[in-house]
Amino acid sequence: MKIALAGNPNSGKTSLFNAITGKIEHVGNWSGVTVEKKEGDVKQNLNPRNEDLVVVDLPGAYSMSPYTSEESITRDFVQNENPDVIINIVDSTNLSRSLFFTTQLLELGIPVIVALNKSDLTDKKGNTIDVPALSDALKCPVILTSATKSSDNGLPKLIDAVITLGKSNKKQIPPSIYGVKKASTKEEFEKADKKRYAFVNNVVTEVERRKVSSEKQTLQDKVDRIVAHKWLGIPIFAAIIWLVFSISQSWVGPLLADIFVGWIDVLYEGVASLLGEDVNPVLAALLLDGIIGGVGAVIGFLPLIMVLFFCLALLEDSGYMARVAIVLDRFFKKVGLSGRSIIPMIVGTGCGIPGIMSTRTIKNERQRRTTAMLTPFMPCGAKLPIIALFAGVFFGDNSWVGTSMYFLGIIVIIISALIIRKITGDYSKSYFIMELPEYRLPSLKRAAISVLMRAKAFIIKAGTIILVCNAAVQILQTFNWQFQVVAENAPETSILASIASPLAILFIPLGFGLWQFAAAAVTGFIAKENVVGTLAVCFSITNFIDVEELALVGGSAEVSTIFGITAVAGLSYLVFNLFTPPCFAAIGAMNSEMESRKWLLGAVGFQLGMGYTLAFLVYQLGTLLTTGSLGAGFIGGLVAVVLIVTYVGYLMRKGSKGKQISAGMRSVKV
Amino acid sequence: MSTVDFIVIVVVVGLVALAITKMVKDKKRGVKCSGCSGCSECPNNHLQ
């Protein structure tokens, strides 16, 4: 039996799906979290007779007429794949808005059960819903549910009702009040919608009793007046992000890293003592420095990443991140985007790939492609070890480094969106209406599950792609082109050095013209964590994290001496890695969401230009401010940056001209 | 080549082979990257 879960965004479909199937799909306290359908079997304890029950979680939709692509996934599935039963999840705290979609589902002829979800919140508010009266009016079963509760949640009753209804093979009878069967013209659709709204209003008036008047300001309204305030909202957001980075990088993160790195140290020492003195030094270095050291250097940062994502998961679950979208909407609107573009960017702080994929909720093509292009500018989980490493080596683990990179990302996105709007000449505007979810006490369990999922994935990545890359880097830097072991004092004769050195010349104006940094930047395109792993292998640093000093990077002065670059150059390298193109997998996701080779090539070129220009500015201006003179390679770098800026300026002028011509043609036509 | 050298080669080759096998297997299943820190919210997540 195929059961479709359909309902408005943020009605709790994914929570219900997880509760029914036992899966742990990502749940967010805001709309638009699910962008593709997901399938699962009903859990054994809810299905004791072991019936064949497959549940499909569909993206949220407000109506059956498609507006965004994820709404069309819902419409196509419900209309074309003939589910046996539809569970329509209705947010019981917002009945009048939710029932419009219900009326459309009831007209399909497929048996519908209404799950009146979030019933615990309705009780808390003191509102009441006459369930039998609602069931009579809709001509379908209505069951109270509370998907986030572990017991007394109405789910056994819901599944029982689904099985009974599915086996009865009865066609759904639509409520017979509006008599709109098949509208074909726009006017007929509008007329039908008006009748549906009138029907919904009548039903809600009859069955719902609200205790709180909507005119009265609630505590949530009062909090929103501060945190979503157009000016106060920004410093509050900055303070929260600073707090998150402080907890993860300065306070709790190092404490956990201490334990974790201790285990890696034990493994390293244990393997080293097992190998003894008789082993071939090349093979020992490959296993100890290349594999254990390289992978260990990356994995050592896992605790701080887990703490950071735990904090972000709590923030998201509380409903705060939806307020951030509202606060930033004002700025995004001015540059041709909208608050809708912020959601992929916030999702992108976990990993750029799901962030880029969630851009498909944006209807406007230019905005969707622009958002997919700019989402990788937000520091993702893979970039966090790089931030932590450079903040630790050069800036004493200071949490302003992470916070400023987060906000630099937002500023760069806004500036870039402005440039892209001028290049494309598309000045169309869109308006962002987002239903603010209720604030709620974040669930520690949900946050812990989310973090454990990320940790598992991080370890898989470290044990696969990062392990292979580090082994390859170790081999390439051990041998020369004649496949002889390079002399200890001549690492620049290695295969790796000879490949990376020509690239390193380009990086002289950015302050890190060393082959090791060039090699790390290149392996970073395979996976960004490789930057840390490759640096560890190239500089033979087995462990960045100091278990003695409880610091993320122990002996930071020593490490910075080994790196051989200044603090300003370190910051420049960090900026370069954050703002150049993301890993290949994320570029692949950009390709599939942009659906245009021209846009993809433009995006990668733009990201390369942006990363280079920013790193150049950071290094040269930083060096000028700290030493009073410009850094090495200034003239060469300036020529490159001027060429980049001139080309972008030319494209912007071309885009504006195109717009003027088309405006002129329109006025001639008039 | 000593026995220890041989064991190290076997271990390294084994680890790399396991990693590559996992990546190839994931690729065939349609996973875009072998593990990423945001997979719990990824619509293409096949790790669960």
A contact test, residue of B36, B46, B48 with most A CBs within 10 A? B36
Tell me how close the Cα of B5 comes to any Cα of chain A, in angstroms. Answer: 6
A589 contacts chain B (CB < 8 A): yes
Which residues, at least 6 apart from A266, have a Cβ–Cβ distance to it below 8 Å? none
Does the pLDDT at position A97 exceed 50? yes
Contact criterion met (CB below 8 Å) for A322 and A437: yes
Return d(Cα A639, Cα A635) in angstroms, integer: 6
pLDDT at res. A634? 96
Q: Is B11 on the interface with A (CB under 8 A)?
A: yes
| Residue-level pLDDT at A214 | 63
Mapping DSSP onto H, E and C, the string for A131-156 reads HHHHHHHHCCCEEECCCCCCCCCCHH
List chain B residues with CB under 8 Å of A583: 33
Residue % of chain A over a pLDDT of 90 = 47
Q: What is the mean pLDDT of residues A409-431?
A: 90
* Residue A370 DSSP one-character state: H
Q: What is the band of A351 on the pLDDT scale with cuts at 50, 70, 90?
A: confident
Which residues, listed in sequence order, are joined to residue A112 by a DSSP beta bridge?
A: A86
Partners of residue A589 in chain B, C-beta under 8 Å:
32
Please give the C-alpha separations between residue A331 and each of A231, A253, A437, A484, in angstroms, as whole numbers.
Answer: 11, 33, 22, 58
Q: Give the per-residue pLDDT at A436.
A: 82
Per-residue pLDDT averaged across A448-453, rounded?
Answer: 86
Backbone angles phi, psi at A554, to 5 degrees: -80, 145
The answer, yes or no, to whether ipTM is higher than 0.90 is: no
| Of the candidates A545, A248, A297, A549, the residue with the CA atom closest to the CA atom of residue A399 | A248
Distance between CA atoms of residues A647 and A652, nearest Å:
9
Reduced 3-state DSSP string for A401-426: HHHHHHHHHHHHHHHHHHHHHHHHCC
The nearest alpha carbon in chain B to A348 belongs to: B38
Contacts of B1 in chain A (CB under 8 A): 280
Of the given ranges (A19-33, A123-137, A584-598, A612-626), which has the lowest mean pLDDT? A19-33
Most confident of the following: A59-68, A255-264, A608-617: A608-617
- Tell me the DSSP string of A103-127: HHHHTTSS-EEEEEE-HHHHHHHT-
Helix, strand, coil percentages (3-state) for chain B, rounded to 5, are: 60, 0, 40
pLDDT over 70 percentage in chain A? 91
Distances (CA, A) of A257 to A152, A312, A425, A519, B45: 40, 19, 49, 27, 27
pLDDT for residue A129: 93
The residue behind tokens 């989402």 is: A375
Is residue A59 within 8 A of residue A74, CB to CB? The reply is yes
Contact A40, A23 (CB under 8 A): yes
CA distance A401 to A390: 9
AA letter at A239:
A
Whether the Cβ atoms of residue A442 and residue A348 lie closer than 8 Å to each other: no
Q: How far is CA A59 from the centre of its chain?
A: 17
| pLDDT score of A603 | 97
Question: Cβ contact (<8 Å) for B37 and A351?
Answer: yes
B10 in contact with A at a CB cutoff of 8 Å?
Answer: no
Interface with B, mutate which of A73, A316, A343, A461 (most B CBs under 10 A): A461
Question: Which of B4, B8, B26, B41 is the best residue to mutate to test the A interface, defined by the most A CB atoms within 10 Å of its own CB?
Answer: B41
Contacts of A212 by beta carbon, 8 Å cutoff, 6+ apart: A125, A126, A127, A218
Q: Does A155 reach chain B within 8 Å, measured CB to CB?
A: no
Point out the residue among B8, B34, B41 whose CB comes nearest to the CB of A350: B41
Classify strands A142-144 and A112-117 as parallel, antiparallel or unpaired: parallel
pLDDT in tens, A235-252: 999 999 999 989 988 888
- pLDDT at residue A371 greater than cutoff 50: yes
What confidence category does residue A547 fall into, taking pLDDT thresholds of 50, 70 and 90?
very low
How high does pLDDT run on average in chain A? 87
Q: Tell me: the pLDDT tens digits for B13-42? A: 999 999 999 888 877 776 655 555 445 445
- pLDDT band at residue B47 under the 50/70/90 scheme: very low
| Interface residue A126 vs chain B (CB under 8 A) | no
List, in sequence order, every beta strand (DSSP E) within A231-303. none
| CA A111 to chain CA centroid, nearest Å | 36
d(CA A385, CA A382): 7
Which range is least confidently modeled, A222-231, A336-345, A498-507, A607-616? A336-345
| Lowest-confidence pick of A142-151, A492-501, A507-516 | A142-151
Q: Any chain B CB within 8 A of the CB of A41?
A: no
pLDDT at position A418 over 90: yes
Answer yes or no: is pLDDT of A428 > 50: yes
| Cα within 13 Å of Cα(B27), Cβ side | 10
pLDDT at position A361 is 73
Distance CA A581, CA A300 (A): 25
Strand-pairing partners, residue A128, are A209
Sort strands A54-57 and A142-144 into parallel, antiparallel or unpaired: unpaired
CA angle A108, A192, A140 (to 5 degrees): 40
- Please report, in angstroms and rounded to a whole number, the separation of the first and last CA atoms in chain A: 58
Chain A residues lying within 8 Å of B20, measured CB to CB = 464, 468
* Closest residue by Cα to residue A105 from A121, A92, A88, A126: A88
Angstrom distance (rounded) from CA A9 to CA A114: 15
Nearest CA in chain B to A469: B16
Give the number of beta-carbon pairs within 8 Å between A and B.
138
Does A467 sit within 8 Å of B16, measured CB to CB? yes
Which residue of chain A has the CA closest to B20? A464
Mean pLDDT, residues A543-551: 54
- Whether chain B has a CB inside 8 Å of the CB on A343: the answer is no
What pLDDT sits at residue A549?
Answer: 46
pLDDT category of residue B45 using cuts at 50, 70 and 90: very low
With an 8 Å Cβ cutoff, are B39 and A453 in contact? yes
Can you tell me the mean pLDDT for A180-208?
81
Question: CA gyration radius for chain A?
Answer: 28
To probe the interface with B, which of A24, A26, A380 has the most B CB atoms within 10 Å? A26
Average pLDDT over every residue of A578-599 = 91
The mean-pLDDT minimum among A135-149, A171-185, A468-482, A503-517 falls in A171-185
> Residues of B numbered 13-42 whose beta carbons fall under 8 angstroms of chain A's beta carbons: which are they?
15-16, 19-20, 22-23, 32-42
Chain A residues with CB under 8 Å of B6 CB are none
Q: Is the pLDDT of residue A557 over 80?
A: no
Query: Quick one: pLDDT band at residue A362, thresholds 50, 70, 90?
Result: confident
Highest mean pLDDT of the ranges A60-69, A185-194, A334-343: A334-343
- Predicted confidence (pLDDT) at residue A482 exceeds the cutoff of 90: yes
- Say if residues A145 and A116 touch (Cβ distance below 8 Å): yes
What is the predicted pLDDT for the residue at B34? 52
* Beta strands A128-129; A208-209: pairing state: antiparallel
Say yes or no for a CB contact (<8 Å) between A585 and B33.
yes
Query: Measured between CA atoms, how close is A380 to chain B, in angstroms?
Result: 8
Q: Which two tokens stand for residue A552?
A: 């993320």
| pLDDT tens digits, A25-84 | 666 655 555 656 778 899 988 888 888 999 988 888 888 765 555 566 777 787 788 899
- Residue A615 in tokens: 């790193």
| Residues of A with Cβ-Cβ distance to B34 under 8 angstroms | 460-461, 464-465
Residues A460, B9: C-beta atoms closer than 8 Å: no
Range with lowest mean pLDDT among A204-213, A291-300, B4-13: A204-213
In Å, how far is A312's CA from the nearest CA of chain B? 12
